[in-house]
A = this chain, B = another copy of it.
């Protein structure tokens, strides 16, 4: 079973609430859910739509075919009818000439009860069409509107009305669920990972599509006793975070491309001053303003090469919403361990999309701050912030931690104490010390990409970050035609190469990514001697779709 519900309408019509309620209802009923948002950079009007794909097996991305088309306005029917399946259903307030049409005069129905709750009529209708029961829906409406009893009653009444008015079209059965699951969007996932990792300070400037991380953490700030601060600009944001980090607290920021550009110099400061910090870049198409609410993977080489000159940093790209929780947690640990900036490359598709994931396993999560203890200090004598060490990692202390010791960090090239130096030897030694940290990271912490497929393959598909889900769906389909394997990278820089070299041997390598110039393919070429067979790109601002990818690879490449 694999079913896709599309809800279309104008900005300001409450699409997001419909999507969120429906997604939660279906999730609670035991379905695997994947929902995506396609919206314009405006507050009212235009055309937006949300898709909710459900299945009794895990779903990893969107699909193009529609089974239930919920049209909050007429335009939605015109725009999406072409994708409606033969046995699909249109739920709309006005009539359309299509045999699949089910009219639900929501406005009229709601007028008598509560006009503001008009969309709940549709929710009821959808549940009926799917052939499900109302019970879970009622619970969720109660939770959602818990503040106001009257509103709850109105909504339940309308839910029921919508339910009554339509007929069952599908006869879905609730899947059983043998373990705890969660439903989470990528932005909240990054925020959750950070919260679990003990982030105490999140300084950021609002920017679509990254604002969800900011608002998730802001919502939790009082409960956690942490501080979320809106900076005056992104330059302030990164420097505020670095100040927090210097002071001993885990600090983080997040933005999208244009904001990342403004943070570049500050990220370089984190590099030379050896300050841990995590920056999430939720990518959108650019450059400059570009398409503010769409998706893409165009920031890869910019992120890896961010800021003038060189310094160790790590760039990682979560594969999906579950991975995002763990990677965000891990990023904060790695930043602390190596005293360096870590960039998380997310994107609008991952950040705004929600997915059913396994419950986060808290027992697997261990925080290590890597701060020196009184005893370690005593062994070292005078505290040297940039002490030369074999692995390049200097003892880290924060101001005020120890009596009589001060902590000095510097954006100039410096000596072990943090004082400005200019001579050639000191410069070279300090660069080498910093670079040694990456060698250790590669040895101890780098994650090889996940492999999926048979041992002997003809084709090796390669994804990075959020393209994993759709490409994995494509691989499963392709596997019916040929011997196809797939590598899904989440660590991007430094680039892990052993699994890649191993799997690529004898296979035709196809790299799939959402930008125009195949940036990941370029990276592979500059870091290995591999020849690539094909590069598949997309840069229209829309996410990859598994079936589409399957078709494209089959037709154009294989």
Interface residues, chain A, with chain B CB atoms under 8 Å away: 40-41, 46, 235, 256-258, 260-262, 264-265, 268-269, 271-273, 281, 283, 285-294, 296, 298-299, 301-302, 304-311, 410-413, 420, 422, 424-425, 427-428, 431, 435, 515-517, 519, 522-523, 525-527, 529, 531, 539-542
Contacts and interface: CB of A to CB of B under 8 A. Distances in A.
B287 A311 contact: yes
Contacts of A293: 422
A40 B422 contact: yes
12 contacts: A41-B412, A257-B268, A258-B308, A262-B264, A264-B302, A289-B411, A298-B308, A298-B309, A299-B309, A301-B301, A424-B542, A526-B526
Contact of A425 (B261, B427, B540): B540
A268 B291 contact: no
A422 B431 CA distance: 45
B287 A427 contact: no
Contacts of A298: 308-310
Given A268-B261, A287-B272, A305 B301 contact: yes
Contacts of A305: 301-302, 304-305
Given A286-B308, A299-B308, 9 more contacts: A41-B412, A258-B268, A261-B308, A271-B287, A289-B411, A290-B308, A428-B540, A431-B516, A525-B525
Given A298-B308, A308-B299, A422-B40, A287 B268 contact: yes
A94 B310 CA distance: 43
B269 A288 contact: yes
A454 to B, nearest CB: 29
Given A427-B539, A539-B431, A265 B291 contact: no
A75 B46 CA distance: 73
Given A261-B264, A427-B540, A309 B290 contact: yes
Going nearest first, the 5 A-B pairs with the smallest beta carbon separation are A257-B308, A268-B287, A286-B309, A298-B309, A424-B540
Contacts of A41: 412, 420, 422
A45 to B, nearest CB: 12
A419 to B, nearest CB: 13
Contacts of A308: 256-258, 260-261, 281, 283, 286-287, 290, 298-299, 302
B427 A285 contact: yes
Contacts of A283: 308-309
A66 B112 CA distance: 97
A410 B517 CA distance: 23
A345 B296 CA distance: 29
Contact of A307 (B292, B302, B410): B302
A422 B291 CA distance: 6
Nearest to A291: B413
Contacts of A286: 268, 272, 307-309
A455 to B, nearest CB: 28
Contacts of A411: 288-290
A271 to B, nearest CB: 5
